[in-house]
Amino acid sequence: MRLFETIEQLEQKEEQLRKQVKLLPESQKKEFYRSQSQQLKDPDTYATLNWFFLGGIHHCYLGKYALFILELVLLITSLIGLALSYSIALIILALLIIYELPQLFFAQKIARQHNYKLSCKIFNEISRR
């Protein structure tokens, strides 16, 4: 995830990939678009999961299950710690919030970057055949 990559840079990379896909033979193009349509993630769904559900469920949507489990465990641990009045729990919770805030505000870009990386992977697999 590159939060400092501008949308314009991302759009240029996406456009370059589209040009490369156009150069593929027709059968490979069809395979690329079929595979891509099955695997791409909707940026709006990712953003909605990020905004409305606690515990990192949005990571599951992108297939980052280990990160989801880590965040969920840290969240539950910090909430239990807060209930038991442990001061370290507040620090853990604050760190989670600091980590999640950029993901919250850049959710659309993060999903598009994920889709771009996935599309590049699909392109590379198909173009090697």
Task: Give 80-99 pLDDT, tens digit per residue.
Answer: 999 999 999 999 999 999 99
- Mean pLDDT of the residues in the chain: 93
Closest CA to 62 of 108, 101, 93: 108
Buried/exposed code over 1-32 (b: 16+ C-beta within 10 A; e: otherwise): eeeeeeeeebeebbeebeeebeebeeeeeebb
pLDDT at position 33 is 96
pLDDT of residue 87: 93
- Which pTM was predicted? 0.86
Query: What's the pLDDT at 115?
Result: 97
Tell me what pLDDT residue 129 has.
Answer: 77
